Structure 1
């Protein structure tokens, strides 16, 4: 049963990542990978909210598997983030490569901490 929850979450997360990435990126005329940045930050926020909810007893381990492991695991993408950063550096856009790393780490951590804080405010 647990693996099915992960598969179902991933079946939603992967297309959501692709569609969100394309929609966001199409609105920016920049070499910066805004689409990947957006899905990674959004996934971090959702994972923070979920983690806080589970810690407060407001969400079950089944929800954690479905949303945390499945959906967020497929929505967020470290491999694409790494590839796009390498591509930027190789193409001579070193500032954008460094900015991508710094902004992604800072925003991702900020989003997960914000999610946990929001969950604690609601459920604790």
Structure 2
């Protein structure tokens, strides 16, 4: 139960942060999705830092990030701030493990399937609304 609370609280804060950042950036740079770029870049930087602290084997156990803190920050906060950070981390992990084929498949799959899914959803609804 405490794990769900950590994820939920982090998600709450991350969602508010995403909304606040994108609103601020859309006023500052109208016509360009700068807010999405900022949250994605920030999320990728933070997940890189946090995953290194969580997984580094040479850190003394007392210096490692606690599981609940990891769930709060990575799964909750960054997960709701941006899923692009997870995509970035997973791709870099594949590259670090020399799984180039899987890294390429992950990149191309997320982009192609993602864009296709957006187009399919949009087109389906617009078709249905025009009936």
Q: TM-score, normalised by structure 2?
A: 0.56
Task: Please state how far the C-alpha of 1:77 moved relative to its aligned partner.
Answer: 4.7
**Where does 1:101-112 land on structure 2 (aligned, <5 Å)?**
none
1:76 to 77, 82, 90: 82
RMSD: 2.2
The range that moved more, 34-43 or 49-58, is 49-58
Structure 1 residue runs without a partner (length 5+): 88-124
In structure 1, distance between residues paired with 2:83 and 2:23? 14
Given the alignment of the two structures, is residue 62 of structure 1 paired with residue 68 of structure 2, yes or no? yes
Q: Which runs of 4+ in 1 moved over 2 A?
A: none
In structure 2, distance between residues paired with 1:19 and 1:70? 17
Higher gyration radius (CA): 2
Q: Which residue is 1:45 aligned to?
A: 45
Q: Which residue is 2:20 aligned to?
A: 19
In structure 1, distance between residues paired with 2:69 and 2:30? 38
Give the total of aligned pairs: 82
In structure 1, distance between residues paired with 2:26 and 2:50? 27
Q: Do the aligned partners of 1:2 and 1:65 also contact (CA within 8 Å) in 2?
A: yes
**Deviations 1:42-84 (CA, angstroms, capped at 9, x unpaired):** 1111111100111234212221100000000011155xxx68x
